[in-house]
Amino acid sequence: MAEQGGPEDQKPQSDEARSAFVPPPGVEQSAAPSEDDQPTSEFALPAGLPDPSASPGPGSGPGGGAGSDTLASAFVPPSGYNAQHQPPAFTPAHGIPMVRLTKEAPWQDRMRTMLRMPVTERPAPESVQQTDDSGPAVPRVLDLTLRIGELLLAGGEGAEDVEAAMFAVTRSYGLDRSEPTVTFTLLSISYQPSLVDDPITASRTVRRRGTDYTRLAAVFGLIDDITSAEHVEVSLEEAYRRLAEIRRNRHPYPGWVLTAAAGLLAGSASVLVGGGVLVFLVAAAGAMLGDRLAWLCAGRGLPEFYQFAAAAMPPAAMGIALTLTHSTDVRPSAVVTGGLFALLPGRALVAGVQDGLTGYYLTAGARLLEVMYFFIGIVAGVLLMLYLGVQLGAELNPEARFEPNDRPGLQILVSMTLTLAFAILLQQERSTVLAVTLNGGVAWVIYGAMAREGDISPVAATAVAAGLVGLFGQLFSRYRYTSSLPYITAAIGPLLPGSATYFGLLGIAQNEVDTGLTSLFTAVATALAIAIGVNLGSEISRLFMRVPGAVEGASRRAAKRTRGF
């Protein structure tokens, strides 16, 4: 009896089993035909060709079909197949790698990762919030998204972070095919239910802007609750209710505290550049007077250009008044410089440069144009007072630059008080004031060590210090799962180019245009160094951390760009 295959491959033969071609008993069987007359199968190997199954190959072995006596399986790869060197295909055998977003990462990083991905490579949505059987209420979700984006953009957030927040809200409520668009004054979002349906588009205009980082933190908390599955369910009604409470929430600090903070900021800045106790008091008085004058202009409906011009006049007038007293113990230039520290739009400058570096050129251009108008308003107010002082015979010396003094401990202290006052002006939460104050002190220590002790260029030292501010601010925000602005904006206060701005304006007022323009260019370079340093520090913090949304070994995607690098 011929050898059969294994027991798992062969069906046992019973005694009753007969072939249909076997003649029944009693019928004489004819002689067996010769070998040439026997029928052959069309799948049989022609005579003279070698049998490939007789030689061992990659598919040989048990169940591999290596021998002619064993039964081959249809699922065994061919003998010439090599899994390591498989032929190219449009779709790999293992499929397209799926993007997984780590739940532990902040929603900003998760949504920013998806915004920087092509639409075809974005992962499928994972609806966090439950909806009814009919699906989410698309108009209400879009309206809620636009209202949240409006508060963020009005609070000073960058365009990419606002788009990430809007994208997070829509995906959490099940609207995966949505595309938000953010410009300086207009928010829009488009949602397409399917490839054959018409898209639904909604927009909202941002008409009023205000600096309230407490409200900004509350909006971030709402978005975190909406996008996180671990928290309680946040329905559309609950989200609208919490958003209305955020809008109605009063500022954490009353008006008189803000005025006192403006005085403390100007006084601390005047001591930072070499002033004494009298200079501190005069600078504080001038800044508080300018703050009240700006509030009066705002109450009368004047544009912000005139508000900044009015706020810059009292500190400059105080400095000129001290000059007319011919006192040698005070430094009038420190008084004017302290007032400028309280007015320079560092927050808008950082946001504008950040939008430009991340590819939002339209919004960046609008923000920088706003900064330019604010700066021109400050210049107009200070120059008006300086011209008046020159006509009155005030001896203002544009060559008297601030010299480094030997009071590093005092300067570190006043830099921290300056940061504290700046944080109060930004309406920050009390829980974030201590962290940003320490961040501002570290920034001044780095700047002083590099610029004054290491004889390094002040612009380069400012960039390095601002980079550390951005790095620490990003770490603080990751720990608290909130925006990084409350930990960064106030900390760059001691680095603002107040002295360079003052001496540039003084040179122009005294017809020394070359000297004045040189000093103003230094101020502009310092301001750009602050903005770029802050953005670079934030990017470095993300660069060396685990990138959410990337598969193993994948590279980190850059921001929007116009060239195909």
Report yes or no on whether pTM surpasses 0.75: no
Average pLDDT score over residue span 257-271: 90
Give the model's pLDDT for residue 124.
61
In a domain, 4, yes or no: no
Give the model's pLDDT for residue 29.
57
> 265 and 142 in one domain?
no
Confidence of residue 231 (pLDDT cuts 50, 70, 90): low
In a domain, 55, yes or no: no
In a domain, 424, yes or no: yes
Number of domains in the chain: 2
Q: Using the structure block, give the residue that is written with the tokens 């239910």.
A: 193
Q: Which of 224, 248, 272 is the last residue of a domain?
A: 248
**Euclidean distance between CA atoms 565 and 558, whole angstroms:** 10
**What tokens were used for 343?**
């007015």
pLDDT tens for 411-451 read 889 999 999 999 998 888 888 888 899 999 999 999 888 88
In a domain, 220, yes or no: yes
Average pLDDT score over residue span 170-192: 87
Give the model's pLDDT for residue 144.
93
Give the model's pLDDT for residue 42.
54
pLDDT at 78 over 50: yes
- Residue 285's SS3 state is helix
Give the model's pLDDT for residue 354.
82
Q: Which of 220, 248, 276 is the last residue of a domain?
A: 248
> 526 and 437 in one domain?
yes
> 298 and 224 in one domain?
no
Average pLDDT score over residue span 29-44: 54
Going 280 to 282 to 288 to 291, the CA torsion angle's sign is negative
Give the model's pLDDT for residue 537.
81
Of residues 25 and 261, which shows the higher confidence score?
Answer: 261
Average pLDDT score over residue span 158-173: 88
Give the model's pLDDT for residue 419.
92
> 236 and 316 in one domain?
no
Torsion angle of alpha carbons 557, 364, 336, 339, nearest 10°? Answer: -80
> 226 and 130 in one domain?
yes
> 319 and 361 in one domain?
yes
In a domain, 66, yes or no: no
Domain that holds residue 425: 255-543
> 173 and 153 in one domain?
yes
Give the model's pLDDT for residue 310.
92
| Inter-residue contact 293 to 313 (CB < 8 Å) | yes
Lowest-confidence pick of 93-97, 153-157, 496-500:
93-97
Query: Residues 65, 66, 69, CA angle at the centre, nearest 5°?
Result: 75
pLDDT at 474 over 90: no
> 228 and 279 in one domain?
no
HEC string of 157-222 equals: CCHHHHHHHHHHHHHHCCCCCEEEEECCCEEEEEECCCCCCCCEEEEEECCCCCCCHHHHHHHHHH
> 431 and 294 in one domain?
yes
In a domain, 306, yes or no: yes
> 278 and 151 in one domain?
no
In a domain, 473, yes or no: yes
Give the model's pLDDT for residue 482.
79
| Inter-residue contact 187 to 143 (CB < 8 Å) | no
In a domain, 185, yes or no: yes
Confidence of residue 96 (pLDDT cuts 50, 70, 90): very low
> 264 and 138 in one domain?
no
